Structure 1
C-alpha cells in the first residue's frame, strides 16, 4: 500500500516526518511469518532420510527392509490421500464459486468432485501390490506424501487466508499462523505421544505437519500483505522483499540447526531421535512470533475497511506523520468503495496472471532443491554430514542473492529481474540434468545447482511475492488467496512427484536422475515467455493505481 504520491514533493516531505524506524520494526515482526514459512517448510530437508527410515523403510545392500507393516502403511496412505485431495478439490470448488459465481462455479466444482470420486473409489479398492518393485514404487509415493504433507496445510491455509484477513484482520490472521506453527512443532516432535487421531504414528506426524502447513499458508499471504499495507510506494518492493529474505533466512537457520543436531550422534541416533529435535526446534521462533504480534497494530487499510477511522489515523500518524495522515486516510477510504466486488470485476487477466505467477514460481523446481537438496547431494555420492553441509552452501547462496533482489527490485523493476532469472534457471537446470545423465556429478553439478539457486533468489523468489502483493486492486484484494492457493497446489505437485520421477527405476536407468531437471528447465523457458508477454511492470505504482491499470486492460 502506498502512503505517498511519489509525484508530489510536498507529500513526500510530509511522509518523511513519519517514523521510518517504526515502519521497519513492524516489517521485521511481520517477516517472522516469512521466517517460519522457510523454517517449517525446509526442516524436512535434513530430516527426510531419517524420517523415512524410521517410519517406512531402510535401504540395505539387498534391497528394502520395511520397518513397519507396509500393508497398513499403504492402506492408510490411500485413505489419507483421498481425504486430503477431497479437501483440496473442495477448496478449488470454493475458489471457482467466488471467481465464476454460484451457478457456473458450483457446476464446475461439482463436476470436478464427481470425476475425482470415480478415481478415488478405484484408488481405494485397488489391490495392495505384492511384487517388490511395485511395493517400492508405492513406498516412494508414500515417502513423497509424508515429506510433502505440510504442503496440504499450505493449500488450505493459503486458500483461507483471504477470508481470514478480511474477517478478523491481518494481525489476528498472523496470530492464528503463529499458534499453528507452535502446535505443529510440538506434535511433529513426538507424534506417538500426541496421536489422538486413531492413525498409524506416521500419519499422526502427517496431520501435525498439515497443521503447520496451514500456518505457512496463512503467513505466506498475510505477511507480505501486512508489509505492503504499511509501506510507502517508493520502498514497498524492498520492504515486501524482506519477507522473502526472511523465508530464505529461516531456511538457512534450519539448515544450520539440522547440521548441528545431526552432529550430536551417529546415523542410528539420527534415525531414532535426532530428526525429532529438528522439528521441535521450530517451537522457539513460533513462540517468539506469537509474543511479538501482541505489540504490533492492525494495518490502517483494514481498520479503515472496518470503519475504525480513528484507530487507522493513529497508526498513520506514526507511519506517515501527523501532517499527511488525514490525507492518506482519505486516499485509502476512496479505494474501498467496492468492498465486496466480484473477483472478475477487472476481467480474468489479473486472476490469470496471479495464478500463473504462482504456478511458475513452483514449476521451475525450486522446492525440489530446497526440500530434497540432501537427497540430491546423496545421489551425487555425498555422505549425510556432507550433504547437509552442502545444503548450507545452497542456503547461503539463496540468502545472498535475495539481498541482490532487495537492492535492485525498486531500481531496475520487476519484469527485468524475473526474465533474467527465468533464463538463468532454465540454463542451470538443463545443464544440471546433463551432469546427472552423463555421470559427471560432483563439483560441476554443485556449481549448476548454485547458479540455479542464485538465479531464483534474485528473481522469482522475492519478486514474485512483490508482484502478487501489488497486482490485485484494493477492491478484489481477497483474490490474492486464489493465487496463493494455486502456488501451494503447484508446490505440492512438484514435491510429491519429484521422488516418483527421481527414484523411479525405469527413469533412473534411462536418464540417471537427470529427467526431472530437464522438465524444470523447460518450465524456466516458459516462465520467461510468460513474464515478457503478459505481466505489467508495477515498479513505483501505488496500490491505488492498480484499479485504473486493469480497467484499461479490460476495455
Structure 2
C-alpha cells in the first residue's frame, strides 16, 4: 500500500477519474444504440444491411480515431488529444440528435466513433503515465469501470426515455452532450503527462506536475527513471511490429484482440432488443433487459478488478472462452425453440457475467503487458485497430445472419469461435501475473 507521505492519492485519483470520463463517454456511445435501434428502424426504414452498417459505423470511426490519436498525442501532448476527443463527443451528440436523414446519421455516428477511438487509446495511456507504479493497475482499471458505468447509466436513461414518442431516440443521443461538456472542463483542469513533457524537453513543467503527484523524493526518482527510459529510444514504425523477433508476441496480441470481439458478446450488448423481440418481448421488456445487462456487467466488472491479479490472466481467459461457448449453445437452443423471455434472460445475463470477469478486462490487461517495450505503443495501436475492425465485422453481420438463419443461428457460430479461442489460449497464451514487463519481454519474445 502507498503512504500519504509519498503520494498525493486524492489528486492522483481525481485526475484519473477526470481522464476516465472519456471511458464513460466510450460506454455511452457504445450502449446508446441498443435503446435507440427500435426507434431508428422505424425512423429510417432500416433493412438488415443498413441496420448493421448504422451500428457498425461507430467502429469504423474508432479505427480512424485510434490511427490519429497516437500521432496527435506524441506531437502535441496527451491533454490536447483528450480535449479534441471531448469536443468530438460534444458536437457529435448534439448533431446526431438533430440528424434529418440516414446518411447524415451514419456520418455523424462515424464522427462519434473517432472520439471513442481516441478515448480508447488516450485515456488509459494518460492514466498510466501520471500514476505511480504502485497504483497504476488500480488507476487504469478506473477507465474500464467508467466504461461500464457509462453503459449502465445510458441503458437506464434509454429505458426512462422510451415512452417519449417516436423522437425519443433524439433525446437518447442528445443527452450525451452533458457528460461531454463536463469532460471538456475536466480536461482543462488536469495537467499534461510528465512523461510527454520530459520527452519534449519541458523538464520544469514536468517537475511541477510530479511534485503535485508525490513527494520531492518521488518526483526526483521518477524524473530520472523517465529520462533513462527515453535514452536512445527511436521512433518506431509499423514495420517494426512485424520483425521476426517480436512476431510471436504481436500475433498473440492481435488474435486476442480480435477474439474479444468475434466471441459475440457485443451482439448481446448492441442488439438486445432484436434478441428479445424474437421471443415475443415488448419494447418495455426489451429496454428493461438492457438495464439488467448494464447492472450485471458493472457488478462482475468490479469482481474482475478484484480478482485479475489474484487468479491470473490465463485461467480467467480459459474459463471465459469455454463458458461462453457452452452458454451460447444453450441460448441458441432457447431462441430456436421460442422459450420464454425470462429463461432467455437468464442465459443472456450468464453470458454477460462470464464475459465481464474474463475476456472483457483481461484482454486489455494482456494487450498492455505482452508487447516488448520498444514497440509497445505501435503494437498496441495495431492490436486495438484490429479489435475495432473485428467489432465492425461482428455488428455489421449479425442482422444479416439473423435474417438468413434466424436470431438463434449466429450464436452457434459464436460458440464455435469461443471454442477455438479456448484452444488458442490453452496452447499459445502464457501467464503474465506477477512478472515485470522486462521478464515478460524475455519470455514472450524469445520463446
Sort the TM-score into its range (normalised by shorter chain).
Answer: over 0.9
Distance in 2 separating the partners of 1:13 and 1:442: 48
Distance in 2 separating the partners of 1:224 and 1:497: 30
2:322–2:422 CA contact under 8 A, matched in 1: yes
> 5+ unaligned residues in a row in structure 2: which ranges?
none
Q: 1:482: how far off?
A: 1.0
1:416-495 correspondence runs (5 A): 416-476=315-375, 477-495=377-395
**2:12 is the counterpart of 1:23:** yes
| Cα distance change on mapping 1:15 and 1:532 into 2, 3 Å | farther
Residue-pair matches, total: 441
1:141-540 correspondence runs (5 A): 141-192=49-100, 201-263=101-163, 265=164, 269-270=165-166, 273-336=167-230, 337-342=232-237, 343-344=240-241, 346-476=245-375, 477-504=377-404, 507-508=405-406, 513-540=407-434
Q: Could you say which residue in structure 2 is the equivalent of 1:140?
A: 48
Q: 1:548: how far off?
A: 4.6
Moved more, 463-472 or 24-33: 463-472
**2:34 is the counterpart of 1:45:** yes
| Cα distance change on mapping 1:339 and 1:300 into 2, 3 Å | farther
Distance in 2 separating the partners of 1:459 and 1:31: 21
| Cα distance change on mapping 1:551 and 1:501 into 2, 3 Å | closer
Moved more, 515-524 or 13-22: 13-22
Aligned-residue CA RMSD in angstroms?
2.1
> 5+ unaligned residues in a row in structure 1: which ranges?
1-11, 58-138, 193-200
Distance in 1 separating the partners of 2:259 and 2:378: 21
Q: Deviations over 1:224-270 (max 9, x none)?
A: 1122223344443332222111111101111111111113x3xxx22
Distance in 1 separating the partners of 2:130 and 2:438: 14
1:363–1:490 CA contact under 8 A, matched in 2: yes
Distance in 2 separating the partners of 1:26 and 1:536: 33
1:183–1:211 CA contact under 8 A, matched in 2: no
2:279–2:339 CA contact under 8 A, matched in 1: no
Q: 1:541: how far off?
A: 4.2
Q: 1:377: how far off?
A: 1.3
Moved more, 534-543 or 493-502: 534-543
TM-score norm. by structure 1 comes to 0.75
Moved more, 245-254 or 169-178: 169-178
TM-score norm. by structure 2 comes to 0.93
